[in-house]
Amino acid sequence: MERRKFIRNSASAIAAGFIAPSMLNYGNLFANHVSANDKINVGLIGCRGMGWANLSDFLIHPEVDCVALCDIDQNVLNRRAADAEKLRNTKSALYGDYRKMLERKDIDIVIIGTPDHWHCLQMADACAAGKDVYVEKPIANSIAECDAMVAAAKRYNRVVQVGQQQRSGDHWHEMKKYIDSGKLGKIAQVNVWANFNYAAILNPIPDSPVPAGIDFDTWLGPAPMRTFNEKRFHGAWRMFWDYGGGLMTDWGVHLLDMALWGMNVTGMPNRIFSSGGQFAYPDNYA
Ligand SMILES: NC(=O)c1ccc[n+]([C@@H]2O[C@H](COP(=O)([O-])OP(=O)(O)OC[C@H]3O[C@@H](n4cnc5c(N)ncnc54)[C@H](O)[C@@H]3O)[C@@H](O)[C@H]2O)c1
């Protein structure tokens, strides 16, 4: 089956955004007889953490090639360029501006592994450039941005998948099947627990000059202007409203989603309440 047709045929399943690349199993279909026409060229935007993890998974499949890497941090970019070369023994083109990368005609799929405040713009631009997209979760920071992204995927007729990989895990599918079988009877309540503190313990430090090699203005992008602070930057940004939604969105999209999926909930909640406080780390950011 020709590459494009295969992707299109998979589109209905992917449309919901819930099939991991490894599940598509291009590798098994094409292993050992990948012609140049069947190659899938990938470009990665945001190379430090999850973006790189995704790309490494993509590259398990022999028909996938990484042709371009983009990051606003030259140090990250150089490190990942070396890592990618180690995996495949080929050099990727390097970009600091994702729009330049999107001008390339040879890129089929773009992986977006940037902080959440960038997802909407980059995803919509990638769709407009005719690329299919694997965008990390949470889809974006507002419902309005999510709606714009769905509209972009439809308008440009792109295959888009979101990094909520739990939806592809066998054990979660077994959970869903078991609940749907009715063996548990009528379920009155579902509790979801998340017991993480990573990135949450952030003793404040003063702002500092932007380190060499970092294009901080572009990192801020659509977020409000401010001076550089290491504790609001790589990895730690998720704890600040300007860029993310704390662990509630970081992990909520994974684990709350499992409860909603299990219970076949597709609408909006009737009521939400929360309580909290800064008990364990009172010197933390407010
Ligand atoms: N699916 C999962 O299990 C999972 C796990 C971790 C993170 N994530 C998601 O992955 C995304 C990235 O998270 P992370 O922890 O890897 O963050 P990170 O801060 O470690 O990495 C983000 C990278 O994006 C780069 N970047 C920022 N703005 C850019 C721009 N405009 N153009 C190019 N590069 C830019 C940064 O320099 C950095 O290298 C987030 O949306 C996060 O929620 C998903």
Residue 15 lies in a domain: yes
DSSP 8-state class, residue 276: -
Residue 278 lies in a domain: no
Residue 138: cis peptide before it, omega within 30 degrees of 0:
yes
pLDDT at site 199: 66
User: Is 247 near ligand 1, meaning CB less than 6 Å away?
Assistant: no
* CA-proximal residue: ligand 1, atom 6 (nearest): 50
Same domain, 145 and 53: yes
Total tally of structural domains belonging to the chain:
2
- For β-strands 160-162 and 40-45, DSSP reports them as unpaired
Same domain, 247 and 197: yes
Same domain, 157 and 191: no
User: Is 43 near ligand 1, meaning CB less than 6 Å away?
Assistant: no
Which atom of ligand 1 lies at the shortest distance from residue 47's CA?
A: 39
Same domain, 24 and 152: yes
In angstroms, rounded to a whole number, what is the distance separating the alpha carbons of residues 183 and 181? 6
Same domain, 163 and 181: no
Q: Find out whether 58 and 88 touch, Cβ atoms under 8 Å.
A: no
Same domain, 116 and 70: yes
- CA 45, 198, 20, 258 torsion-angle sign: negative
Task: Decide which of 145, 167, 189 is a domain's last residue.
Answer: 167
Residue 57 lies in a domain: yes
3-state class (DSSP) for residue 218: helix
**50, 56, 168, 217: which to mutate for ligand 1, most atoms within 8 A of CB?**
50
Residue 275 lies in a domain: no
Residue 283 lies in a domain: no
Residue 187 lies in a domain: yes
Same domain, 139 and 242: no
Same domain, 238 and 209: yes
**What's the CATH code of the domain at 26?**
3.40.50.720
DSSP 8-state class, residue 238: G
User: Is 45 near ligand 1, meaning CB less than 6 Å away?
Assistant: yes
User: Is 49 near ligand 1, meaning CB less than 6 Å away?
Assistant: yes
Q: What's the CA-to-centroid distance between 115 and ligand 1, angstroms?
A: 4
Same domain, 84 and 212: no
Task: Decide which of 148, 167, 186 is a domain's last residue.
Answer: 167
**48, 214, 257: which to mutate for ligand 1, most atoms within 8 A of CB?**
48
Sheet containing 132-135: which strands, arranged edge to edge? 93-95, 64-70, 40-45, 109-112, 132-135, 160-162
Residue 146 lies in a domain: yes
Task: Decide which of 119, 147, 167 is a domain's last residue.
Answer: 167
Which atom of ligand 1 lies at the shortest distance from residue 235's CA?
A: 19
In angstroms, rounded to a whole number, what is the distance separating the alpha carbons of residues 259 and 249? 15
Q: What angle do CA 93, 98, 102 make, to 5 degrees?
A: 75
User: Is 46 near ligand 1, meaning CB less than 6 Å away?
Assistant: yes
Q: Can you give the residue range of the structural domain that contains 58?
A: 3-167
pLDDT at site 31: 45
User: Is 72 near ligand 1, meaning CB less than 6 Å away?
Assistant: yes
- pLDDT tens, N- to C-terminus, the chain (286 residues): 344 443 444 443 333 343 333 334 333 434 445 677 789 999 999 999 999 999 999 999 999 999 999 999 999 999 999 999 999 988 999 999 999 999 999 999 999 999 999 999 999 999 999 999 999 999 999 999 999 999 999 999 999 999 999 999 999 999 999 999 999 999 999 999 988 777 667 788 999 999 999 999 999 999 999 999 999 999 999 999 999 998 889 999 999 999 999 999 999 888 988 888 778 777 776 5
Residue 99 lies in a domain: yes
pTM above 0.75, yes or no: yes
pLDDT at site 38: 84
Same domain, 230 and 161: no
In angstroms, rounded to a whole number, what is the distance separating the alpha carbons of residues 266 and 262? 11
Same domain, 14 and 118: yes
Same domain, 9 and 149: yes
In angstroms, rounded to a whole number, what is the distance separating the alpha carbons of residues 9 and 109? 16
3-state class (DSSP) for residue 268: coil
